[in-house]
Amino acid sequence: MNIERKVIEILKILSEHSDPVGARYIATRLRERGINLTEQAVRYHLRILDERGLTKNYGLKGRVITEKGRREIEKGNIADRIGYGLGRIHECIFYADFDPERGRGKVIANLAVFPENRLVDVVEVFRKCGDKGLAFSKMVSLEPELPFAGEGEIGLYYLSSFTLDSILMRNGIASVLRFAGSIEMSDFELKRFTQVIGFEESSITALDLFIQRMFTKREPDLINRGDGEIFGIYREIPFVARNRVREIMDALSEINISPIYRIGELDDAVCGVPPRGVNKVGFVCVGPSTPIGILRSEGVDIEVHVSQEILEFDRFVDVGDLEVMN
């Protein structure tokens, strides 16, 4: 279940009471609504709500909802509001400070949550996609104890491709995120976009649903032969920055971040899309979500939280180095 949905339900429970309410009571009421969270997980979410100004902490007595919190309930799921997704992405781009030449700094990470008994399958698909450049990166961080995960679930952080936008920004290169989409690929070469979804008019949830629709059936030739549909992102960069961007991509490849990408020529289309800006070129790069789509097509119940955390790069390891038991 989406984290923000859980947050909204907590706010709804608090809104039903005028006096402070504790985590144990909230956990009980959530179970009645089909949401299984431990008291510890509820406290985790309450701390976040306090920071957002949506609840007020009265110590041992519990929390009460604020007027700001009531307004959030009226607006519905926070993450589904139009523009929220892009705003969250820009916030993460600002706070990440990864330096590819030094291999140090903070990166933007997505989080996948799935049944622990499917860990071997998840690791294998991430490894295969990473080896072939079908994912943004091979670097992952296993998280066996998530406070908000359900019973028997485990988490895996993997690098968001928006980390690349942060790197470009810190190198003085203005990249414009135009859209994400499904790209036709042949022999591991990106050919053309077949479907797209814009960032400005979409939410994070809409992006995830788009990825789910992309991978409704298995595509065995995608990993083995590089033929099929793959998830990618279209950016525009200044024409004069092309060579520097290639240098950055070369540096990233030395630390297991080596996605398939294409950079266009001035005023020429790349993957069927012409640049919109003056003296701009298109920059198309494989996104991080192809392994997720493949796993879902294979029946793995996997939930994704896009741009979930800003984490230090040194906590990530090559997915091929993870030791998992069959």
The model's pLDDT over 43-71, given as tens digits with 9 standing for 90+, comes to: 988 988 998 889 999 998 999 999 888 87
The pLDDT of residue 97: 96
| Among the listed residues 233, 174, 172, the one whose alpha carbon sits nearest the alpha carbon of residue 199 | 233
Neighbours of 174 (CB within 10 A): 14
pTM greater than the 0.85 cutoff: no
How large is the angle between the packed helices 39-52 and 23-32, nearest 10 degrees?
A: 110
Q: Residue 240 is which amino acid?
A: V
Roughly how many angstroms between the first and final C-alpha of the chain, as a whole number?
A: 26
Strand partners, 64: 56
The SS3 assignment for 118 reads helix
Are 231 and 293 in contact, with CB atoms under 8 Å apart? yes
Ordered per-residue pLDDT tens for the chain, 326 residues: 455 668 888 998 998 887 899 999 999 988 887 788 888 889 988 988 998 889 999 998 999 999 888 877 766 544 444 455 677 788 889 999 999 999 999 999 998 999 999 999 999 999 999 999 999 999 999 988 876 677 899 999 999 999 999 999 999 999 999 988 899 999 999 999 998 888 766 655 556 667 766 665 666 678 889 998 899 999 999 999 999 999 999 999 999 999 999 999 988 999 999 998 789 999 999 999 889 988 988 889 998 877 768 899 999 999 999 877 55
The model's pLDDT over 283-298, given as tens digits with 9 standing for 90+, comes to: 999 999 889 988 988 8
Are 48 and 61 in contact, with CB atoms under 8 Å apart? no
Q: Sketch out the chain's domains with CATH numbers.
A: 3-80 (1.10.10.10), 91-321 (3.30.70.1360)
Helical spans, DSSP H, in 146-241: 162-170, 204-214, 220-225
Q: Tokens 């976040």: give the residue.
A: 48
